Amino acid sequence: MSNCYSLAIGSGTLNTRGEWLEIWYPYPLLNPDDKLVEAVKSTVGQQTSSLTDPQLFALANQLDEAGYTEQANLARSLTDSDKQPVICILAEDEAPQDVPAAYLKLHLLSHRLVRPHGTDLSGVFGVLPNVAWTSEGAVDLDELLERQLEARQEGRVLSVFCVDKFPRMTDYVIPSGVRIGDTSRVRLGAYLGEGTTVMHEGFVNFNAGTEGPNMIEGRISAGVFVGKGSDLGGGCSTMGTLSGGGNVVISVGENCLIGANAGIGIPLGDGCTVEAGLYVTAGTKVKLLDESGNEVELVKAAQLAGRNDLLFRRNSQNGAIECLTNKSQIELNEELHKHN
């Protein structure tokens, strides 16, 4: 195991006060070679550092010697750049203390180097600045009006796509073998496994995602991970842990189906189905049925969390929510999820 958790060279944007707004790390390293880390530290001298051209050339040589060709070429290409080159070295997996560290951790997720909940993101909201994401990149909100006036005077329009702490993932990382209908609905820090399709109404938050292959036409909230072969129907929802005081990590097992406009507030095991329009929360009262359709027990849905092969449905006659063994698991169309 390396003595360094992660290391990356990137290119970022500063506001007029010299504060970081965002950073792009094309080739982050997880658990890099110890000799490389020591050589890099001897050049930059600290964990997060803006880089000069001589430092970039020195780093390129060190990376070449260690066999990191892509990273070496990146270091050379950043010389004489309009953006500020930066290096970030994370000795341990701890809560991010600054913008470079936060962006590196989000990149580790979207590059599939760690899975959701696989890196410490405690306090990330307090670290990241709220930024105007525009047609000319990240702009400090205090500087936005001046930039817009400047653009108009030059006959240009500075379009503001959103105001948020998190940018869209595809401006930084495009994982192999995925399809995304609307890129604005996948945040940096999302983990999309090979073969994932995110349709136009699908949404994937940071520190959340899919194992792949998956069909996502609903919402994957922060912290939620969806197992391979599962399908989230149009407009469905998975309850995250960012608001409402929730502290249970919600997940979806393999080969599950959450129907259109349905939702879950409990973890699902493998082979589960939630019928369209039915939202199952931890406190939902559920009738357990035997194979003959007779009621066995009345329980809270939380007691069924993580169990395999369950079918949740609403009785069309009396409105009661019922649960029985799932006789038919879903199967994704393989052709739809080949994105090479």
Same domain, 110 and 151: no
* Predicted TM-score of the model (pTM): 0.93
How many C-beta atoms lie closer than 10 Å to residue 101's C-beta?
21
Question: Measured between alpha carbons, how far is 275 from 129 in angstroms, rounded to an integer?
Answer: 40
pLDDT at 245 (0 to 100): 44
Same domain, yes or no: 42 and 140: no
Residue 192 lies in a domain: yes
Structural domain range at position 154: 133-164
Q: Are residues 150 and 49 in the same domain?
A: no
Q: Are residues 120 and 182 in the same domain?
A: no
The pLDDT of residue 61: 95
Residue 151 falls inside a structural domain? yes
SS3 labels along the chain: CCCCCEEEEEEEEECCCCCEEEEECCCCEECCCHHHHHHHHHHHCCCEEECCHHHHHHHHHHHHHCCCHHHHHHHHHCCCCCCEEEEEEECCCCCCCCHHHHHHHHHHHHCCCCCCCCCCCCCHHHHCCCEEEECCEEEEHHHHHHHHHHHHHCCCCCCEEEEECCCEHHHCCCCCCCEECCHHHEECCEEECCCEEECCCCEECCCEEECCCEEECCEECCCCEECCCCEECCCCEECCCCCCCCCCCCEECCCCEECCCCEECCCCCCCCEECCCCEECCCCEEEEECCCCCEEEEEEHHHHCCCCCEEEEECCCCCCEEEEECCCCCCCCHHHHCCC
Q: What CA–CA distance (Å, rounded) separates 154 from 340?
A: 42
Q: What is the pLDDT of residue 81?
A: 87
Distances (CA, A) of 305 to 241, 245, 283: 16, 18, 11
Give me the sheet containing 251-252, strands edge to edge: 190-192, 208-210, 225-226, 251-252
Which residues belong to the active site? 217
**Is the domain of 111 the same as that of 139?**
no
Does 271 lie in the same domain as 173? Answer: yes
Does one domain contain both 137 and 120?
no
Q: Which residues of the chain have pLDDT under 50?
A: 244-245
Count the domains in the chain.
3
Would residue 227 count as lying in a domain? yes
Q: What is the CATH number of the domain that holds 28?
A: 3.30.70.2010
Whether 101 and 183 share a structural domain: no
186 and 263 co-located in one domain? yes
In this structure, the answer to whether residues 155 and 255 fall within a common structural domain is no
pLDDT of residue 30: 97
pLDDT of residue 291: 86
- Residue at which a domain ends, from 246, 280, 314: 280
Q: What dihedral angle (degrees, nearest 10) is formed by the CA atoms of 229, 234, 238, 243? A: 150
Domain boundary among 127, 152, 181: 127
Torsion of Cα atoms, 287 then 241 then 108 then 252, to 10° = 10
- Model pLDDT for residues 211-238, shown as the tens digit of each residue: 999 999 999 999 999 999 999 999 999 9
In a domain, 176, yes or no: yes
* One domain, residues 149 and 202: no
